[in-house]
Amino acid sequence: MTKIRCLLALLVCFVLGGCGDSEFEFSGHHAFFVFDNSLHLDPTLSSAMNAMSPGIFCRISIKSAGRVNFDNNQGQSSQVTLSALEQQSHKMLGVYNESGLIVGFATLSQPVTFCAFDAQCPNCYEETMMPRYMLTMDTTGKVSCKNCGRTYDMNNNGIISSGGNGKKLIRYRATTNGPFGLIRIDN
């Protein structure tokens, strides 16, 4: 009986010890976006959906009804008009559906991993609960916040690379089957 208690105590310590201060890989915030790029053939989005081009990231946002904007960290921009059927599908593009999402293949993972991040500074958002801290992308796969001065590395799981301590980028579950295929973000 004592051996069983010792094993149970050890198991409980192991399970609880793994929870500590570590952050979960994916956010508890809701995000939902499904887009079939085989229908639209958008080159800006496809550049970030290509596993052979890691480090290229694309911001996905909706600025007007029925249109999706794509801007990548290499200076390309485009806009797609959604079909009536696509407009009816539910979309949740980041915190409060305002900030947008940033997608792309990270360079520091083997095999390369398709990632989706919120385009909002997680630390400024958490302090104010207001979605007004849009991140600015650079060509190296980093994003920065003008408000707090933090820089995050999307190629390295969205960790802070400069500007002080805090939380890493808000990350969502994402998949793609290639540049001119389907992208799905579902959290």
Alpha carbon distance 154, 101 (integer Å): 12
| 3-class DSSP assignment, residue 86 | helix
CA pair distance 85, 130, nearest whole angstrom = 31
Helix (H, G, I), strand (E, B) or coil at 55: coil
Sheet strand arrangement including 142-144: 136-137, 142-144, 151-153, 159-162
Provide CB contacts within 8 A for 119, sequence distance 6+.
Answer: 59, 61, 94, 99, 100, 101, 102, 134, 135, 143
Lowest pLDDT segment from 22-31, 82-91, 123-132, 144-153: 22-31
Q: Is the pLDDT of residue 157 over 90?
A: yes
> What would the pLDDT profile of 120-130 be if each residue is shown by its tens digit?
999 999 998 88
pTM over 0.75: yes
Dist. CA 107–CA 113, nearest whole Å: 8
